[in-house]
Amino acid sequence: MYRRAILSLAVLSFSVPAAAQFSMKEIVAASRDPKAYTVDELSIEIAKVGPTVSPTEVTAPEPGPGDVIPILDSIVNLGQKIWKIIEDNKPIVDVKTQYATALPEGIKSWTQMGGWQRPKGTIYQLTAKNAYGSQVINLRYQVLRTTGGSYKGTGKYLTAVTVEPLLIEAAWGYRLSVDASVPDSSVVNVGTTEVPVAAMMAQLGWRISTAIKVSQGKGIYYLQGDGAYQEIGGPFKREEIDGAKAKIAKTMGETLKSRL
């Protein structure tokens, strides 16, 4: 009996992800009551709490040397491609330096452009319950962005797109890690050659780990340089996601049609 218990603990310890270091006490507790340390993945939910009152200001970097010869309808991300937000329940992001942009190719810094609006933020709350129905994860975060930038009055571009954790609550025995990413393929021009409008899809990926199980998923956010913004993927309300996707598909379709 004793030997069987030792073998069970050994299997559990080897199954734990390397990124999450669980103590022997946590492994023993999980082996005795697996339901308490198993996330009910159907319970994972993201709710929009509302816009933030005073979004975090982002310090603009200094532009590099050289003349600016931008290609206004070619949009690129000069910022981060993927970066960590939370690691094992601890916030590690610096929103003043870790963010994505959607700017004209050739621009060295968004300080070389004008017309930027005040930063905006939208607050969300991600929660998860265990197999008993008890809440084990409570994360509150805000998606930040600055829109409206133009080059000599032309175009609408994006900068300072990032995610800031505001509150992290995790039950004992649970580890939450979150990262943000912006695929290069998602940074596009949804306007015209003459009047470009930058757009991107930012992804927020999360991982909830215990000594016996890892649950993971992502939320996807669509942003435009003219201020359009919507969550389009993740455990949000189904009708909100479907409506957002239909609206974005219509916008993209009209843009393509206008170019034919």
Per the document, the length of the chain is 260
Residue 211, domain member (yes or no): yes
Q: How many domains does the chain have?
A: 1
pLDDT bin (cut points 50, 70, 90) of residue 11 is very low
Residue 29, domain member (yes or no): no
Query: In the predicted model, is pLDDT for residue 252 greater than 60?
Result: no
Residue 200, domain member (yes or no): yes
pLDDT bin (cut points 50, 70, 90) of residue 7 is very low
pLDDT mean over 219-239: 87
pLDDT mean over 16-21: 55
Residue 90, domain member (yes or no): yes
* pLDDT at res. 237: 57
Q: Which residues pair with 221 in a beta bridge?
A: 202, 231
Q: Identify which has the larger pLDDT, 245 or 141.
A: 141
Residue 103, domain member (yes or no): yes
Residue 152, domain member (yes or no): yes
* pLDDT at res. 65: 60
pLDDT mean over 35-44: 94
Residue 25, domain member (yes or no): no
For residue 58, which of 103, 22, 10, 95 has the smallest C-alpha distance?
Answer: 95
> With a threshold of 0.85, does the pTM exceed it?
no
Spatial neighbors of 51 by CB under 8 A, at least 6 apart, are: 120, 121, 122, 123
Domain that holds residue 122: 38-259
